Chains A and B, each alone.
Chain A
């Protein structure tokens, strides 16, 4: 028996196994899609005729603080903070944490918001790098700036957490644009349930849209393919990747760009960890674990209608670094909490959600690379036939295309962006293009991230930004 006689059946079996993987992962995605559609329907019924602004006159709503870490954000921080100051919520406190910036971010803040130094009298329940100074704005008393030694995003958020006075805290990135009534909407789950400790909301891609005075005034689809494909990807990820998990009770991620938490729950859990690049997911998993087997509140949910906007990378180099970092963060978090895998005490979290994240989100890129190479070799060596190869491609990519288009459908059926038909056509085009190179690149970057994680790389890389103040209204 030759070596080829041994290898060919193995190759064939491996290819079938990868095929089954794609059926399972896309099957779960389809379940999430159905779950998301149900959630959206229910949400539409519950919010019919609702007036979120009614909460503005309420003295019973929980108090809220916004935590906004900033590092070298001199070009955008002024606009970002102005946008935060105009957000609607009773008695909103803004805590901006200057994480040892070296580009004059603090000077911009001092000049723009008339800051005056105050004594840093607050309880440090979570350890952080030293706080150098504390400032409050004379023009906007709800704005506090913490100036501290550089310690990273997690450290900055913890410093903000120590100072914040709100019962709820909302962690945002300094360059995230938040819709004016977003807080009035994302607070809903905390009013409706005592066991909710965190809530996430959709992040949408601002590239291509018109921004004026920190507000998105005209929603448009990005013109460039890289940003456009990411816009479709974000819609898919948030619409049913997160919303769908509401039904299955499986939200493991609340975006660091925009998420709301109960402050006491975060402090009791010890705040964000410093030594991981996936600090936002790690905190969520830790919060969820605290509820296992007991009565500690630990529910994490997703709210579909508050919107935040972010700028996505428009170059392959920056995008690659971002995806690499995200994969390293994911690997790190899943490894730290590996005790959840298959753990019946954790219920759905341990038996379904966590294994899904490990097999599909973490190892999926590897499986995909191996599968594609194996398929090519198997076809070349006649271990499988061409019709199977076509079927493989259809399941792996065609089904994914259907899910992307379905996400677009759900989005446009439930929101009123007012985008022109040409932009919709563009979005459909991006959905088709996604699987012709972009997806394969992200797979490679994620595999690279996994390798770097195994090599113990913990850097963030450099994220360059254009800033979005200069985009003019295309209308």
Chain B
């Protein structure tokens, strides 16, 4: 009996194996079909060509293959061709399918719908409310979609998503805000002006990536935050934005702050800004008790070219052995060995 049962199971599994190979081959044939479609449709996606040819080829595909085919096409085009493709996708019913997916009860369909719009663009009528979806994968994908439609309302919503409990959503919000760039500066500045405490760290990281002048004021304010992690990020932000006010604040942090990470960030920032008048302060910082601060100060001096190197050579001859050792290490670094000054 047991042998019979096992024999049946083995036969079933072998049948399943044969079926999966068949499905695998079908997927492969579909890929080849999509590649051929790519080859024939792509040249037609320009203003001089008639888009009906692309539309005819797409509508010739079975319904369930059209969306993947359009997604593959969307990966290959930009600019005007992308706009044309979107129009063709609307005519071929692809966006209608994606919209219906966005309204489905099951998260996997909502995810497919949002992802289709993330690639293709569009979806302004159905995607925004998914920024509050209960499923984190759907929420994150909706956040990624905002790159295609960075309105003030959507960007505001993304800034709030920086505090999402799901790391994937928070990461996608950070990533999207950085990609959105200057359009995120206003909402970020408003957010950072609020008393949000240590939650400011993530927003500051994004703000540094945006590095827009409107972010300087909140950055300077947060350089005085009670949390050292916030002060580090704030130092990075102000050094990315630049200006005299930034230099003053960074110099203050370098000489007065009690957290070594903050002092190191200040040194890095002054090096990034290549602020030569800061050389004496940086040379003093090479005698800091923290290795991290000494290293950051030494690398910052190196970034100040001849003047910085002069201070490094003087430190080499100084009485502080730790400072002299760090100076020697940094002076011996070849150009390709220089550490990135902005973390």
On whether the beta carbons of B27 and A118 are closer than 8 Å, the reply is no
On whether the beta carbons of A402 and B9 are closer than 8 Å, the reply is yes
On whether the beta carbons of B209 and A60 are closer than 8 Å, the reply is yes
On whether the beta carbons of B20 and A416 are closer than 8 Å, the reply is no
Chain B residues near A (Cβ < 8 Å): 2-3, 6, 9-10, 13-14, 16-17, 20-21, 23-24, 27-28, 31, 67-68, 71, 75, 108, 111-112, 115-116, 119, 136-137, 144, 166-168, 171, 174-175, 178-179, 205-206, 209, 291, 295, 326, 328-330, 332-334, 336-337, 339
**Bound complex: CA of A123 vs CA of B116, how far in Å?**
46
**A409 in contact with B16 given A49-B68, A59-B178 (CB within 8 Å):** yes
**Bound complex: CA of A191 vs CA of B172, how far in Å?**
9
**Bound complex: CA of A119 vs CA of B331, how far in Å?**
9
**Is A51 interfacial (CB 8 A cutoff)?**
yes
On whether the beta carbons of A406 and B168 are closer than 8 Å, the reply is no
**A116 in contact with B329 given A48-B111, A193-B167 (CB within 8 Å):** no
**A60 in contact with B175 given A51-B119, A136-B334 (CB within 8 Å):** yes
Shortest beta-carbon distance from B283 to chain A in Å: 18
**Is A58 interfacial (CB 8 A cutoff)?**
yes
**Is A417 interfacial (CB 8 A cutoff)?**
yes
Among candidates A48, A121, A193, A413, residue contacting B24 with C-beta atoms closer than 8 Å: A413
Among candidates B23, B119, B295, B326, residue contacting A49 with C-beta atoms closer than 8 Å: B119
On whether the beta carbons of B334 and A116 are closer than 8 Å, the reply is yes
Among candidates B2, B24, B333, residue contacting A118 with C-beta atoms closer than 8 Å: B333
Shortest beta-carbon distance from B163 to chain A in Å: 14
**Chain A positions within 8 Å of B31 at CB level:** 416
Q: Mark A105-127, 1 if CB is under 8 A from B, else 0.
A: 00000000000101101010000
Shortest beta-carbon distance from B1 to chain A in Å: 9
Closest chain A residue to B16, Cβ basis = A409
**Bound complex: CA of A60 vs CA of B205, how far in Å?**
9
On whether the beta carbons of A121 and B329 are closer than 8 Å, the reply is yes
**Bound complex: CA of A194 vs CA of B170, how far in Å?**
11
On whether the beta carbons of A49 and B71 are closer than 8 Å, the reply is yes
Shortest beta-carbon distance from B335 to chain A in Å: 9
**Chain B positions within 8 Å of A50 at CB level:** 115
**Is A13 interfacial (CB 8 A cutoff)?**
no
**Chain A positions within 8 Å of B17 at CB level:** 405, 408-409, 412, 424, 428
Chain A residues near B (Cβ < 8 Å): 45-46, 48-51, 54, 57-61, 116, 118-119, 121, 123, 136-138, 141, 165, 191-194, 390-391, 394-395, 398-399, 401-402, 405-406, 408-409, 412-413, 415-418, 421, 424, 428
On whether the beta carbons of B10 and A192 are closer than 8 Å, the reply is no
**Chain B positions within 8 Å of A59 at CB level:** 175, 178, 209
Shortest beta-carbon distance from A427 to chain B in Å: 9
**Chain A positions within 8 Å of B21 at CB level:** 412, 421, 424
Shortest beta-carbon distance from B92 to chain A in Å: 17
Closest chain B residue to A392, Cβ basis = B2
Shortest beta-carbon distance from B72 to chain A in Å: 10
**Bound complex: CA of A54 vs CA of B167, how far in Å?**
18
**Chain A positions within 8 Å of B10 at CB level:** 398, 401-402, 405
**A416 in contact with B209 given A49-B68, A119-B329, A428-B17 (CB within 8 Å):** no
On whether the beta carbons of A49 and B112 are closer than 8 Å, the reply is yes
**Chain B positions within 8 Å of A49 at CB level:** 67-68, 71, 112, 115-116, 119
On whether the beta carbons of A394 and B295 are closer than 8 Å, the reply is no
Interchain Cβ contacts under 8 Å between A and B, 7 examples: A51-B119, A118-B334, A141-B336, A402-B10, A408-B17, A409-B16, A413-B20
Closest chain B residue to A134, Cβ basis = B337
Closest chain A residue to B71, Cβ basis = A49
**Bound complex: CA of A46 vs CA of B108, how far in Å?**
7
**Bound complex: CA of A304 vs CA of B330, how far in Å?**
43
On whether the beta carbons of A409 and B20 are closer than 8 Å, the reply is yes
Shortest beta-carbon distance from B25 to chain A in Å: 8
**Bound complex: CA of A137 vs CA of B179, how far in Å?**
31
On whether the beta carbons of A194 and B167 are closer than 8 Å, the reply is yes
